[in-house]
Amino acid sequence: MRALRLGTSWGGLLSGPLAWAVSTQLNYAFVEWQCAHGIPVIPAIALVLTVLALLGGALSWRARQQGGAAFKPDRTRSTEDFVANIGILSAVLFALVIVMQGAASLILNGCLR
C-alpha cells in the first residue's frame, strides 16, 4: 500500500488508456441493452470510468509531489517528474475523451425506433 500512499509516476499512463479502452468496448456492448430497456447506462459507465482515469492521474500527481515512485527510490528526480507529468496529462486527456463519448450518447441515439 506504500505505492498508493506515495503514488506511482506511471499511474496516469496506465489508467487513462485502459479506462478509455474499457469505455469504448462497453459503449458498443451496451447499445442493444440500452435500446431495449430505455435506460441511459452509457453516461453512467462513462462517469465511473472517467473517475478511474482521473484516479490514475492523481497517483501520478502524488508521485510528482512526493518525488518519484514509491518502489523505485534509485531513479532520478527528472525522469520520475517527466513520467509523472506525462501520466497526469494522459489521464486528463483520456478522461476528457471518455466524457465526450458519454455526452455523445446523450445526444446521438443509436436505436432504430
Mean pLDDT by runs of 10 across the 113 residues of the chain is 64 93 94 86 95 94 74 64 91 96 86 70
Any idea which residue has 494522459 for its cell? 90
**Is 60 contained in some domain?**
yes
Note the pLDDT of residue 72: 55
**Is 22 contained in some domain?**
yes
**Is 4 contained in some domain?**
no
Note the pLDDT of residue 29: 92
**Is 5 contained in some domain?**
no
**Is 112 contained in some domain?**
no
Note the pLDDT of residue 106: 85
Q: Whole-prediction pTM value?
A: 0.82
Note the pLDDT of residue 102: 93
Rounded distance between C-alpha atoms, residue 50 and residue 63, angstroms: 20
Any idea which residue has 506511482 for its cell? 8
Note the pLDDT of residue 97: 97
**Is 38 contained in some domain?**
yes
Residue 62: give the domain boundaries: 10-107
**Is 1 contained in some domain?**
no
**Is 3 contained in some domain?**
no
**Dihedral sign from CA coordinates of 96, 100, 106, 107:** positive
Total structural domains within the chain: 1
Note the pLDDT of residue 108: 82
